[in-house]
Structure 1
Amino acid sequence: MSEEILENQNGDILETAKRIVRLGPICDSCLGRQFAMLATGLTNAERGRSIKTVLAMQASAEDDRSWLEDLAPSFRSARLKLGRKDEPDARCTVCLGEISPEMLDAWAERAASALAGWEYSTLLVGTKVSGLLAENEELLLADGGSRHAEPFKSELNREVGKRLSAITGKEFDLKNPDMVVHLNLEKGEAELQVASLFLRGR
């Protein structure tokens, strides 16, 4: 870890956020996840969007066009300020789009399809991360320097889990679930781990 990052670990949240944004296009969720331990009651996407909004406002107040350019690929408000309203968001270089609302919905539907036909009362969601996504997260933590981050897998499990619970009507059990759904990101499949059923008789 560089001296600059070490010096900033107790410093300004916005300076850390600026460094993270400059690493490449980053979605709201992946940015917000770097500060997940600092505030409750917000999703990571809400947290990340709030940070980008403050950074864009600061750049506008200081007439800092270069900083708006850094924000623009992943923040529409900055693109509007620069007169580039028709450009879509660039794909996140951290999660590669896996944490987008569309992909979260798709994973929940995939998991629900895998569970169809099984009898169970409780479930849990887990994730098998691909090597590329694991490397992206490690680089972000090393180069971004945040000490308040939540792991990518935790967010994915939680967000898909909420959607899956709504679809199936089943409760979550962190300790002894009847079913564990593993999201295999490398294969693009939802895999099931079924709890053993023991029958005892005399």
Structure 2
Amino acid sequence: MLIKAFFKYLVTASLFILSLAGVVNQGVTYWLFAVPFIVLFICVCLLFYSQKTGFTVLGISALVLFYFSYNQSENPLIFPVLSKKIVSSECLYPVKKYAEYQLLTQKQYDVLNSVVSRDDDVTMICNLNHLPRKVINKRNWPVNDGLFLMLNVDGVDYLMSQSTLDIINMSSDLPELQIQAEWVSYLSGAMYWPAIPIIVATSIPSLYH
């Protein structure tokens, strides 16, 4: 009986975590691949618990999932960098890469100056020391390149990628900053589950060589 109850709770918790993984997933599929787990979670709560307990678990779970799905771009639990100032001792180049200007370091600008152009009417941003406003997700890009911080400097919005943030991190003594929380990155990895059969199928032949 104890083992059966433990297994029931384990399945319930696992399905909830997988549902949460879809909600916080910042990849292009967002919560799509979490739908089967959400459906199973609802079924388990309704079929394997008393009516009162089942609806209570569903209600609390719905509130948690709603909290993490609503206004994600300004949620510091998903993007902890939002509560930290971005400090850069080197000047940054504003480049019109998207609708907003994207800030590049000198190293990045030297690499990309053949494919992007700097607006001569926009001055470089030096001695940056600002709190980010929010995170912009360009879902059509790979997740590591699709997340951008939005900073407002003197009334102008600028985007900053993780790669730019990494270079700033290396040139300062401040703690390393990541746009996305590590727990979100780990959970989001669960949304690659449809690729598991492909990975296994391609890996098996290599075991015989």
TM-score normalised by length of structure 1: 0.31
- Return the structure number with greater strand share: 2
Larger Rg: 2
TM-score normalised by length of structure 2: 0.30
